[in-house]
Amino acid sequence: MLKIKEFAADFGWPRIIIFFFLITLFIVAPFVGVSISMSLSDTLNRFGQNAILVLALVPMVQAGCGLNFGLPVGIIAGLLGATIAMQIGLTGWFGFFGAVAICLPIAAVFGWLYGQLLNKVKGEEMTIAMYVGFSLVTFFSILWLLLPYSSPAMVWGYTGKGLRTTITLDNFWGHILNNFLAVRIGENFVFPTGMILFALFCAFLVYLFFRTKTGTAMTAVGSNPDFARAGGVSSDKMRTISVMLSTMLGAVGILVYQQSFGFIQMYQAPLFMAFPAVAALLIGGASVNKASMINVIVGTFLFQGILTMTPSVINSVLQTDMSEVIRIVLSNGMILYALTRKTKVTK
Amino acid sequence: MKKKFDFRRFIADNVVVVIFLILTAIATPISGLSANYILQDIITRIGRNSFLVFSLLLPIMAGMGLNFGMVLGAMAGEIGLIFAVDWNISGVWGLGFSVLVGLPIAIILGWAAGAVLNRAKGREMATGYILGFFMDGVYQFVVLYLMGSLIPMRSLAITLSRGYGIRNTLNLDSVRQSLDNMMMVKLFGLNFPVGTFIIVAILCLFIVWFRKTKLGQDMRAIGQDQLVSNASGIPVETTRIIAIVMSTVLAMIGQVIFLQNMGNMATYNAHRQTGFFAVAAILVGGASVTKATIPNVFVGVVLLHLMYIVMPRAGAELFGSAQIGEYFRDAFSYGAIALALVLHAWRKRRGVEIDRAGLRMNTVDPAAKGGAV
Amino acid sequence: MSGADKNGANPAIRTRRLLVKAGLLVMYVALTVFVFINGRSHTFLIDNKSLDDGAVSAMRRVKVFIDNQKPLELYARDRELLMVRGQGHRIRIETQDPANRLEAKFSVPFGNDMILISVPKMASGADDFWEHFVIQYERPTNNDAPPPTLEEPVPIEPTL
């Protein structure tokens, strides 16, 4: 009994509540006419879509840089990769992996610069990250209008200059991961094997990374800076590497998101993309200075599950669309809970 | 020699202000707007926005950083306005009614916000920001679902056709510009909303007076050093909460003033950018996360809004697209906030390092790399 | 510390604080009610029509003064609309036609938004010259779009 109580207190009551809430939704679903197979399929789809973006938060959390509200920096790098790949006409697998190849160095540079900035402001990272992200997204909104893109698939029809707000990936690499080895069971259920595999693969890579020397050093810097310093580890260098890693994962993450969504969203869309990712990570059990792969997978699944199920179920039950309000309250409430938790001494 | 040094120090301390000044100075002639138009717009905007910016002063004084949670007060004000319009209370009486109705809501929300922020010491700003989003969800729940169903609404004109929930835009004709018009003075071909100015002036006097009261002194002490204040018997937690409550109430009044000037209210969006604009204004005015004065408020409002007026036009002239001008303006506002926050955090760390070096009697160079300090 | 409890304040100070808080609360409620009653706007419809039962006939020409507002000039069978604020009102008329009464005071009861005033009836001296006017609002039929989501980009318009 004591063990259960300990586990509950540790895991956090809000998370337990969310978990049971999701189970309840799944149980109630068939009774209100919501197809479970379709919901499950949607949930898995959204899980794969968002998993890597959530994963991108882990390195910075482990290194003690807090929650990366500046994820838009990585997203912009990803957008650059995607648009350049489209511009030079890469399609299919070449398109996707070409975009990845292009965005990684860009993300590394962005990450390095961003990391330098964050190192100067240890302690106030989160708010600054937010506004750096906002500035960059808005600044790039200017660039999207001015840069010499010319591919007719991307630019405005009338003027031929400036990128469109949403660019469809239909003829390029839309859904390419999703459809890879997809398993179709029955009418409503499609398992997007390719994307899930890719997401799990990336998670596995990150997991391996944290078992290397650099990875362990990074974790040490985050959880026990004095110990790390005593061991000769430069906290600045580790933090910069964590930011670079985070930015690069963010870039890849948005590429995976885009191919599943089917569209590249430009201009102001990336502004608030960090928040759902942060909420998902926290729901999965992470805290402001500690996050693991399990947190990522469980959190993304729970969060996206709730986002998928609540509209359908609650709308059928109450005959009204409350999904928006529930989403806002849940995701932000989760972040609030994590931010206000007294940080415990390392366990 | 000394004079030159002071000048450079001044620039270094007020980088954000200087950058904004230069940018605006460049953009203004390019925009091609007449001086009369710009001046009139600035005068209106000062009246409209200053009160909101003032609400940020007290939490900064109390060391709680930029109170992004002021948006809770804005929501309280909006709820007050909804009721005022619903009950058909017009003119300045309607504004007064909104403030009176919003007062208990703002106090409760402010108290909750203060309690939450107390639990997130060291991360107040990010927490306040998220708290704003969270409350937005609660606000939507109340205004979109409860109003008209559980909360009786009289006027069919403001509720949605489905029977409950308030419409997306609320027509504020009944109270439109009532405060502004109360004492509109025409001078040099410009309209001065003296009524609003007087209210702002009263607020300034209140703040000056408040700083001298025991509560005000307590807040300043907490802002300087929490541990010492705690040791001298100041109830730190409660005083912090009171600072946030006052900030929220002021934000509530400020939002009512803002909306009466706008003339209509985007029910679900009006408060979205309130926090950002107020924070940007005060930072552009030279304030920092730990220090803000009354001149900061006015300088900031004038500069920020000046840029808001001229930048889109300048962008249109230069690039043929007002959209670019708007993006430019936004990028710079966000960048200014980021810059101000970075400078502040950086200076704080330098201050800590220099202090530590002092303790070590300068035997260790604070700039040494390799993980020291 | 004799009798000291919460915050080191003795009971006398605590009671005083409680009284002050209660007093503030009373003042707040009183102020709210005051503003409410005096701030409420009503619409007055001012009729110069003959009554259906023929008891009173419309005046040929009458000037109507409500409170301190500008006078309204009404010919026979005219109807004018006026917005007023507050509960108590005074109506005064100037006319060449025969009238028993030129002035009247009345108070709008709580809850009524629109009042129909019959000038000829008031002039004849009857006391019930005003009545609550209920209009059927046509429900606006166009469905309002639900508010935009948080995922949508925040519009850039200068909404300051």
The whole-chain average pLDDT of chain B stands at: 85
C44 forms bridges with which residues in the sheet? C82, C115
Domain regions of chain B by residue span: 1-31+285-373, 47-282
Residue C59 lies in a domain: yes
DSSP strand pairing (C88-95 vs A189-191): unpaired
Q: How confident is the model at residue B365 (pLDDT cuts 50, 70, 90)?
A: low
Specify the pairing of strand C41-47 against strand C114-118: parallel
> Which of B343, B294, B267, B289 is CA-nearest to residue B123?
B289
The residue in chain C having the minimum alpha-carbon distance to the alpha carbon of residue A138 is C156
SS3 A226: helix
CA distance C75 to C64: 11
Cβ–Cβ < 8 Å for A45, A305: no
Of A268, A324, A328, the CB nearest to C153: A268
Q: What is the pLDDT of residue A318?
A: 73
Q: Assess if residue C117 is contained within a domain.
A: yes
Q: Which DSSP letter does residue C153 get?
A: P
Tokens 């300990």, located at residue: A6
pLDDT of residue C4: 47
The CA distance from B23 to the nearest CA of chain C, in Å, is 18
Q: CB contact, 8 Å: B148 with chain C? A: no
Work out how many domains chain C is built from and give that number.
2
| Dihedral angle sign, alpha carbons of residues A311, A313, A316, A320 | negative
The tokens of A347 are what?
């366990």
Query: Considering only residues 55 to 84 of chain C, which have any Cβ-Cβ distance to chain B shorter than 8 Å?
Result: 83
Torsion of CA B15, B21, B27, B32, to 10 degrees: 170
Confidence class for position A346, pLDDT limits 50, 70, 90: very low
The DSSP code for A271 is G
Amino acid code (one letter) for B233: G
The partner residue sitting opposite B116, judged by closest CB among A117, A126, A336, is: A336
Residues 6+ apart with CB under 8 A from C153: A267, A268, A269, A271
- Residue C1 in this model has a pLDDT that exceeds 50: no
A233–B323 CB contact, under 8 Å: no
In the predicted model, is pLDDT for residue A111 greater than 90?
yes
Contact B140 A132 (CB under 8 A): no
**Residue C157 belongs to a domain:** no
> Best residue in C21, C27, C35, C141 to probe B by mutation, most B CBs within 10 Å?
C35
Within this chain, do residues C113 and C128 fall inside the same structural domain, yes or no?
yes
Q: What is the pLDDT of residue B1?
A: 46
Which positions ≥6 away from A337 have C-beta within 8 Å? A12, A14, A282
pLDDT in tens, A198-212: 999 999 999 999 999
Partners of residue C157 in chain A, C-beta under 8 Å: none
Between the CA of residue B17 and those of A276, B4, B92, B302, B333, what are the distances in Å? 34, 19, 36, 11, 12
Tokens of B329: 């303006």
Question: Would you place residue B210 in the very low, low, confident or very high pLDDT band (cuts 50, 70, 90)?
Answer: very high
Report yes or no: B93 at the C interface, CB cutoff 8 Å: yes
Q: Which chains reach chain A with 3 or more Cβ–Cβ distances below 8 angstroms?
A: B, C
pLDDT value for B104: 94
What is the C-alpha separation between B67 and B124, in angstroms, rounded? 8
Residues C61 and C94 in one domain: yes
- Give the Å distances, CA to CA, from B238 to A201, B111, B234: 50, 10, 9
Residue among A142, A283, A342 with most chain B CBs within 10 A, to mutate:
A142
Most confident segment among A309-323, B129-143, B313-327:
B129-143
C84 within domain boundaries:
yes
CATH number, domain at C45?
A: 2.60.40
Which amino acid would we find at residue A35? Answer: S
* ipTM over the 0.85 cut-off: no
| Residues B285 and B295 sit within 8 Å (Cβ to Cβ) | yes
Residue B89 phi/psi, 5-degree rounding, is -95, 120
* Residue B333: predicted pLDDT: 85
- pLDDT in the model for residue A229: 82
pLDDT at res. A110: 94
Task: State the virtual CA torsion across A137, A142, A145, A151 in degrees, nearest 10.
Answer: -40
Least CB-CB distance to A267: which of C147, C149, C153? Answer: C153
Contacts of B89 in chain C (CB under 8 A): 35-36, 39-41
Residues of the domain holding C15: 7-37
Tens of pLDDT, residues A47-96? 999 999 999 999 999 998 888 999 999 999 999 999 998 888 888 888 88
Q: What is the mean pLDDT of residues B75-90?
A: 90
Residues of C in CB contact (< 8 Å) with A are 146-147, 149-151, 153-154, 156
The pLDDT value given to residue A8: 64
H-type helices in chain A, by residue range? 2-11, 13-28, 36-55, 58-62, 71-87, 92-120, 125-146, 176-179, 193-209, 213-223, 225-230, 235-261, 274-283, 293-318, 323-339
pLDDT, tens digit (0-9, with 9 covering 90-100), for C28-41: 999 998 888 888 88
pTM of the model: 0.84
CB contact under 8 A, C36 and B89: yes
Q: What is the pLDDT of residues B327-359, one digit of tens each?
A: 888 888 888 888 888 888 877 777 777 777 767
Q: Model confidence over B218-265: pLDDT tens digits?
A: 999 988 887 888 888 888 889 999 999 999 999 999 999 999 998 888
A189 CB within 8 Å of a chain C CB: no
B100 contacts C31? CB cut-off 8 A: yes
User: What does the pLDDT read at residue A148?
Assistant: 84
Residues C62 and C96 in one domain: yes
Binned at pLDDT 50, 70 and 90, residue B16 comes out as: confident
* Nearest CA distance, A91 vs chain B (angstrom): 31
Q: Letter for the amino acid at B50?
A: S
Chains touching B (at least 3 CB pairs under 8 A) are: A, C
pLDDT of C139 reads 57
The answer to the question of residue C56 being in a domain is yes
**Rounded distance, CA C40 to CA A18, Å?**
46
**Taking the domains of chain A in order of start, what are their residue ranges?**
47-268
**Is residue C50 in some structural domain?**
yes
Does residue C40 belong to the interface with chain B, where contact is any CB pair within 8 Å? Answer: yes
Q: CA nearest A128 in B: which residue?
A: B338
* Helix/strand/coil for C79: strand
Chain C residue with CA closest to A165: the answer is: C153
> How many C-alpha atoms does A247 have within 13 Å on its Cβ side?
28
Q: What is the pLDDT of residues B310-329, one digit of tens each?
A: 888 887 787 777 788 888 88
Residue C145 domain-assigned (yes or no): no
Instruction: Provide the shortest C-alpha distance from residue B25 to chain C (in Å).
Output: 20
Nearest to B90 by CA among C138, C117, C43, A300: C43
Query: Hey, what's the torsion of the CAs at C30, C33, C35, C37, to 10 degrees?
Result: -140
The number of C-beta contacts closer than 8 angstroms across B and C is 85
Average pLDDT, chain A: 85
Per-residue pLDDT of C69-116, as tens digits, reads 888 888 877 788 888 888 888 888 887 777 777 788 888 777 777 888
C-alpha dihedral (A120, A121, A125, A131), degrees to nearest 10 = -90
Neighbours of C58 (CB within 10 A): 19
Which residues in C lie closer than 8 A to residue B94 (C-beta atoms)? 39
B298 or B315, which is more confident:
B298
Nearest to B57 by CA among B350, B295, B218, B269: B295
Distance from CA of B187 to the nearest CA of A (A): 39
* pLDDT given for residue A347 in this prediction: 27
Beta bridge partners of C72: C64
Interacting residues of C40 by C-beta distance below 8 A, sequence separation 6+: B87, B88, B89, C85, C86, C87
CA A325 – CA B134 distance, rounded (Å):
9
Q: Is the pLDDT of residue A162 over 90?
A: no
Who among C147, C149, C154 is closest to A268 (CB)?
A: C154
Contact A124 B319 (CB under 8 A): no
Mark yes or no for CB contact C151/A272 under 8 Å: yes
Average pLDDT of the segment spanning A88-108: 89
Residue of A nearest to B164 (CA): A320
Q: Is residue C1 in some structural domain?
A: no
